[in-house]
Amino acid sequence: MSTTLTIDQNRYKCEAGETVLDTLLRENVNLSYACKKGTCHSCLVRSDVAPPGLAQSGLKNTLTKQNYFLACQCYPEQDMQIRLPDQSEFYRMGTVITNKLLNRNTILLVMAFEDAFEFNAGQFVNLQRSDGLTRSYSIANIPEVSNTLEFHIRRLPDGVFSTWLHDEVNVGDSIAVSEPRGHCFYIPERREQGILLVGTGTGLAPLAGILNDALANGHSGPIHLFHGSRELEDLYRIDEMRQLAQQKPNFHYTPCLSGSEVPEGFAAGRVNDIVFSQIPDLKSWRVFLCGHPEMVNLMKKRTFIKGAAIADIYADAFLISYH
């Protein structure tokens, strides 16, 4: 049986026995690929309908939920509308309704949208300035009736976009916002599972969203949040988190400081060490890691060695690209 693949306005016939990748290569569609064995995940694309299970084998559940699949492993069973990774993004305008300091170098930016903005708490969007300059920022809240998105943005020394958001963007301004992206989010299943949230700096943004989502979904297992920075002045939302920990018996919060001054009530050291002194065994835990790329990569390995299953480790490294 042949099927029709649609990309943008173009339609391609996928012959019986052909994979989606075969068809697209035959039609000279530009798509990255490498192993053709389902191993390298280079040809990851997205469909409008649920793809055959085989084409999603080995993918994270947050990807399968969004109908991502491997083009090289997909023998379509029905017509599909396909989104390539580099396909031009749909942007919509949001209006800034809050821009205020959370600590000495981080702002809370809240944007409102006219229509409902669908996302999973913990995903990120690309913000785009009118000159085309684009950066990724994580959504810090859960979907709300007010159609708002909340961001925590740290000022980087000489960072073009973050400085612009800090110094020049005012309430009432509009900014273009992409569709939500990423697969670091909470799925409401196995509610009794332990959840480990580890973030440095503004890595707290996606974690706050994930935390609130898990609590809103009645997650009953223990939820441990470790938020780290060097100095006290670079943490934020400390009182709010402590309060939440008092209200929710299954939520535990540990602010961590790696610098030399560590006041009472804070754990001394790096998050990557403190976590394991409190939770030595992560077998059957779900893990979320967000923030500094080095921390994220190190913790991916360490949490895995301590027993977390690969499929249960979700991570967003806040990669900074030098332009």
Ligand X SMILES: Cc1cc2nc3c(=O)[nH]c(=O)nc-3n(C[C@H](O)[C@H](O)[C@H](O)COP(=O)(O)OP(=O)(O)OC[C@H]3O[C@@H](n4cnc5c(N)ncnc54)[C@H](O)[C@@H]3O)c2cc1C
Residues that bind ligand X (CB under 6 A): 124, 135-138, 151-154, 156-163, 202, 205, 316, 318-320, 322-323
Which residues, in sequence order, are CB contacts of 142 under 8 Å at separation 6+? 121, 209, 212, 213, 216
In 3D, which of 107, 83, 110 has the Cα closest to residue 98?
Answer: 110
What's the min distance (Å) between Cβ of 64 and another protein? 15
CB distance 83 to 45 below 8 Å: yes
Closer to another protein at the Cβ: 41 or 230?
41
Q: How far apart are the first and last CA of the chain?
A: 48
Closer to another protein at the Cβ: 53 or 249?
53
**Residue 39's binding partner out of ligand X, another protein, none, with CB under 5 to 8 Å set by partner kind:** another protein
Task: Specify the amino acid at residue 155.
Answer: R
**Residue 156's binding partner out of ligand X, another protein, none, with CB under 5 to 8 Å set by partner kind:** ligand X
Closer to another protein at the Cβ: 58 or 188?
58
What's the min distance (Å) between Cβ of 58 and another protein? 7
**Residue 278's binding partner out of ligand X, another protein, none, with CB under 5 to 8 Å set by partner kind:** none
Closer to ligand X at the Cβ: 124 or 285?
124
Which residues, in sequence order, are CB contacts of 158 under 8 Å at separation 6+? none
What single DSSP character describes residue 260?
S
State the residue number with the nearest CB to ligand X: 159
| Cα atoms found within 13 Å of the Cα of residue 205, Cβ hemisphere only | 28
In 3D, which of 250, 200, 193 has the Cα closest to residue 229?
Answer: 200
CB distance 22 to 76 below 8 Å: no
What's the min distance (Å) between Cβ of 78 and ligand X? 32
What's the min distance (Å) between Cβ of 62 and another protein? 13
Binding site for another protein (CB under 8 A): 37, 39-41, 57-58, 297, 300-301, 304-305, 307, 309-310
